[in-house]
Structure 1
Amino acid sequence: MKYLKLLLFVFLSILTDSCQVKSEEEKFKVGFSQAMTTDNWRREMNKSMKLEASMHPDIILEIKDAENHITNQVAHIEEFIKDGVDVLIVSPIQSIPITPAIEKAMAAGIPTIIIDRKIEGQNFTAYVGANNIEIGRNAAKYILSHSSGKADIIEITGQEGSSPAYERSMGFKKTLDSVPELKVRHVIKGDWEKTSIQSKLSDLLDSVKAPDYIFAHNDRMALGAWEVARSKSLEEEINIIGVDGVFGPNGGIQLVKDNILNATILYPTGGMETIKLAEDILNGENVNKNNILRTVIIDSVNVDIMQNQFNKMNQQQNDIEQQQEVIDKQIRTYNTQSDLIQLMLILLSLLLILTLWSVYLVVKLKKRKRILELNNQKIITQRNQIESFAEKLKLSNESKINFFTALSHEFKTPLTLITSSIESISDHPNKELKSISYETNLIINNSRRLLRLINELLDFRKLESGTFALKPVKTKIAPFIQSIIADFKPEALKKSIQIEFSSANEALELYIDRDMMDKVFFNILSNAFKFTPKNGSVSIFIQESKDGVNVIFKDSGIGIPKDEFQKIFDPYMQASNNKKPSSGLGLYISKQFIELHNGEIFVSSHQGTEFKISLLKGKSHLKEYEISELNTEIEQTDSYRLSESGIPTETHPTNHLDENAETVLIIEDNMDLSYILNKKLSSEFHVILSDGTNGIKMAIDNIPDVIICDLNLPDKNGFEICNELKNDLRTSHIPTIILTALDSKESRLKALKAGADNYITKPFNYEILNESLRSVLYNREKLRYYYTNKIDEVRDENFANAEQKFLKDLNSLIDNNLRNTGFSVEDLAARLKISRVQLYRKVKALLGVSISEYINSQRLNKAKNLLQDSDMNISEIAYEVGYSSPGYFSTSFKKEYGISPKELKSR
């Protein structure tokens, strides 16, 4: 054991020495956020930085390209700050937007060097770059020295908002102001790329006299200007000056040498100088705040000299890179060999230790093995007991949850009867019922309050099981909130509470699930009014920011203790100063709904309570959901909303219906609900009632225009009835509305798969039901128009639905038997395997005409085609389409088309 400890000490010493070596090899991290690398000038900047950094082994340079996007550059700076770089270098895209990010880096203690372009203010360590004002002056001086004293000039500026563009333009114009005859006649704004100015310059040259000079803020835009001038044969008349003077095939120096540009102003990249400056900062040396690089005008006089100098510099850089590569290779070889030796020593020591340790463990493990076997047996027994208990507990909890969920659903049908009955009274104000209006309002409000609590339980259940899914809809948030506030005005008047609402932008739109956010805003307002005393105030403000919206609810109530701010969002939790009964679920559900929108909710309390809800603009944060762009009028969507009803009256349904009124079949086993629906619908529809035991039979016997079917029925459920009717040729065309207490995604999906046209949950508003009836009947009318006008255009045999197939079969049978004068409607119904009455009703429902009228129209249509396209005479055609008398055929044809067969034939 003594030797084992000694070897372990040796092993730890080796590891410590290895760690010390690694710490001695620590290097400095330098992060560079490059604006973009789309041009040779910036690529040269990157190249010179990398070359200079390679000369300093203690520096690790990381370059990130922002690709000319501000958001990318801000994100890159944030990443460098998070990584804790030792020096940050930034070439800003634009001055103002990037300033806060650089100030954040300075606040984090990271020395920051600004290169090329400037930022707002002086909160940086050092600046490296040419004097852009001096560059503008040099361009102006060049024009002054080469012009005859009078010239027209066009200036092409860089990207708006960047410091080089602003300063170059300022230096250029101030210098030209001293000579009145030299005028900048036009300014074209570019974005540093030639494509951004070519169309603008082309249009300008078409409308004005060609200028004497064009000053472009960089060589790329200058080249673009020359290409435009050449396209208009003006390249010899216009002198073009650029900026950058980059060395290389497409650089400004080569453009001057090729006589494309008259001159370019050298704009040093400063890459090498910046790395040297970073090294000085890392060494603790004092550096100058502003490090201005020298610049020079390159024209035909000195272009060869400059190119030779750059050739030599480039050759030297290549030689340095090759030498550095050789040095790096040797260093890597040395490090590899050194690491290998250390690794071998460590492994050898480890092998000795493990050998001794394994002998010790073999002895020790034999002793413990028996103990572990006994403990393992005990653990297995306990685990089996725990699993058995957990299974029982799970079944017990599931049973309780299912019980309360089923109980909640059972409440909904009686609530439907209560609210429907009271709404019937409230919808008919008359003198006899005015005396009980107060009691009816009490019944309505308390019934709907009970419904709100039930829905709260169901929402809690859905959140716990994770079955909630957003249904975002584009919504004008201010009217949406105002519609909710309107429901609290009676209570505000009652308690003398002042309501204040303000929004700077009434047209502000957000993508929200209206049902969820309705419950959130309603719950928070309900709490505000509950805990605000008489003569208090409740204020609602909408504040818009760049990326989102804050909705603030502030009241003058009792407030919330500071140490309970976060606890109040837990389920069942209430504030300690809350003496009023509540479920404790409202704020928990509200917070979950807001987080489903990727939003946040905050609470503060000072002379009352303030809730702030932050929601994001746009829809990118909701991309996993199906989003509706339909921004309909804001309406109260919650079934528990406290509406302002008038004085109740009774409206008696009329029994004098038009004979063409639609027929509604109601399949409902609750007699009270059937009675109310019958009473409400009888004024507009012929109503047929079924208790669910004979629903399918009554649908087949009567062929109604629309069916309202409950889900829970004694014989077959609503899914089965709907599925059977939709798959029966006799009833497949009838629209079906499912009426149920179930409000789950699975139930809705199952109803749609069964063929239901609409799905309404209890308790429901009669106006919604009535509008749903009108909607499905209207949709049937649109289908009828389609079938009567477009059915002949359908050629595919794989039809989309049963109605199209039925009409194709119908047309085929009629067409094949047109010559058979004895072919009757009864024969047609028999071939289709339905009764004559059912055939009549189905054709009437689909096409709006009787079957006899439809057969006759098919005969005449076939006759019309034969008259136009065949050599048959009128008599032959009459017999061909099933008329026994040519005279009767002529009379029918003229009545249908307003022209005799003979006249049509002669044409």
Structure 2
Amino acid sequence: MRLSRIFICVFVFLLSCTEGKKHRKKIGFSQNTTKDSWRKSQGEAMQRELMFHPELDFELRDADGSIEKQNRDIQHFLDQKVDLLIVSPMVFEANTAIISKVYDADIPVVILDRKTSSDKYTAFVGAENYLVGQNAGEYTHLILKNGGKVTDLIAGPESSPSIGRHKGFIESCQKYANLDILTPIISGDYDSLYLKSEIQKIPQIDLIFAHNDRLAYTAYKVCKSLKRSTKIIGVDGLFGPNEGIEMVEKGILAATILYPTGGEEAIRIAANILNGRTYNKENQLFTTVINPENVRIMKQQSHKIEEQQQNIVRQSDKLNSLNKTYSSQKNTLYTTVFLLTLVISFGSVLLFLFREKQRSNKVLADQNLAIKEQKIEIERVSTQALQATEEKLRFYSYISHEFKTPLSLILTPTEDLIHRNVFDKTEVKNTLNLIQKNTYRLLRLVDQLLDLRKLDAGKMTLRTESCDLVLFLKDIIQDFSPTAHKRNIDLQFICPFAEIIMEFDPEKLDKVFFNLISNAFKYTPNDGRIHISLLKNMDFVEIVFSDNGFGMNQQDRDHAFDLFYRGKQNVSLGTGLGLALSHEFVTLHEGEIGVESTENKGTTFRVKLPLKVDLTSELKENQIHTPHFVEEDIVVKKEEENATLEFENSIVIIEDNVELLTFLKNRLSTKYQVFGEESAEKGWETILKNIPDIVVSDVMLPGNDGFWLTNRLKSDFRTSHIPIILLTAKGQIESQIEGAKAGADAYIAKPFNQQLLEEKINGMIENNRRMRLRFSNEITDPHDVEKVERKFLLDFELLIEKGLKNSTLSVENLSQEMGMSRVQLYRKITALTDKNVNDYISEYKIKKSKQLLQDPTKNISEIAYELGFNNPGYFTTFFKQRTKQTPSEWRNS
């Protein structure tokens, strides 16, 4: 019985093996060619995927680029009645009929890479060629920001990839007016001589979009031989020697568009169809642009994938070896079926091999999953690294700017003191107070940076003590009392409690409360209100800081606690460090901080802290409070003393930092009449009102910036002659270029040298004086009117000429015709010619009279009336006063 059972088992096993052979499915694959590396890569991908489907038989037939041969190959598979056909069509229309015939014969058809004109197919696998062309067009716009001439290089114009890629590229480029789209170049045989002759026909090509990397490389060699700096974009993005990724890395190609082969996906979908599993009819493959920015990551990923694929091949070879062993053992089992001992032995071996195969398949699946996860992780890390780099650059930019203003207010006064020969005690004291104040400001910035570094490193810890919160707040508020009294601000501390004993870190809450009160004073005008309230319940205390200052808009409220955020409103939110640190310190106390604000109505900050009481500790009786250095406006009496002095030249200074503005006004008021403003808009009004000799302006101002002011100053004929110096903490070369484009005459970066600034001012005023002398000697040169100021004077003389003939000449009429006020016209003419308007008109009349006196046909009376004189006798007196001769004497001389 036992022996018969063994024979039955062996028979059933052999029968199952036979049945397995009967149920093997066959896949036929018609490839248009296998000569290029992309299709070789596609075939290798298919073979790797087939390792996971031993139940499938696979036959590849290469059409070798012949449409007729491919049609015969497909007919061959139809005659064989394969279970499934995979076909990569040659061109759009050529294979449609035979493929439809296979589909109508109820044979599943998977179209790979290229579509036909019919929808008779079971599934399609491939990248969207229109999207490939579109990506190339969009990247073309990115690298040709200034525009240029572009074309695409087509391999086979009748194939669906060429049609889709060309259409996507053209439609994408047509969106950009600065891209000039040329006629496409057809070069299907990769003949460099033919391609060279085609490219030589086109005088200029800034970019070529080749439909594959082989064409792209041929185009590169041709352009290099023609010594043209044409950018090349290819398609395929394969990994390996002389392939797309390597050519991008070497700079041969500007970019390549990733075009997956789809080999693995085609086999996987074919297996799903044959095994009755679900599948999608349209299977679009992922495509992207590989450029110099991401080529290293793509190369590393491809290298890692290639290593894993090689490992898969090694495992597959091992499996094949095991399968051969399995087949050998199976054949031996056939011959020794009656030898029971060998049957049991070979059965055990087969069972072991079967389990080993399952284990190997599981290892391969885990490895594939690990590769995918690794790819996702690499992309995530790359994105994080890019964001971190941007954040660091933004951080360094902001903190550098914040350091430069207090450094200017330390360095400039210090250099000023060093170069002085005579010292005024009050002025020196005020200068030292200014230096001390900005030194404390720098110290606070450094302390905040160190605190921020500790928070980032996770080394910031609380050192809590049992303290009286009421007394703690009173001491901080008391430091601001002098400033509140001086600015007539209603500063109140509203608290119904005599004391509140709780656990907190005095050092950190001191910084929080001081920063919130300091901000309230900074953005609350004189005669305003600042109230601090202290509330309490069973679980927490709430400290409310309320003011009726400038307030914030919705966007500024949402970003109030972001690091280095600066609002777009007229009042800056400051450095962005203080509020960010306050938020972190409150969070360390397990508390909350929030803000409520309305523009032009005020701001309220609410700090909620858990009410923690340590019953084991005692309240420290001698709480020591260190007074803060509260920023106050420095009053300099010298400004008032010099306010009544009058000088020949005037200056308008525009600076939003009140301290720096005050210092510059005091320093320059000894030589010039100085007008100061804190915004570009008010500065423009002051410039129009006073028509100064020079303007000194900061770039970063509330509202419109210094570039706006410079552009307006130079574009208005009333002020175009006034030189402007841009004084700013933005010392980057890009900012200096922007200032030069706007028309700035000089650009000085903070911290600046006061002597350098004064020498710049002196030099520009001296240049203006020389220009006035030149214009005073040569009133008008009609042959040289290109410059703005000469054009202005020519227009002015034409109006004088018009007024002489119509007897309507007056300063009022002239100013109205020029679109200026009487005062502005006087100052403009004086600034340009060193003469007032009346003297200028008189000199013009003398010049005109001399021209008329040269005509012997006109008598003195006619000339007098023509020049607007009602009395010829007065004309004679006028002429003699200015030339020491009468008109008749001058004519006869």
Could you say which TM-score interval applies, normalised by the shorter chain? Answer: 0.3 to 0.5
Q: TM-score, normalised by structure 1?
A: 0.36
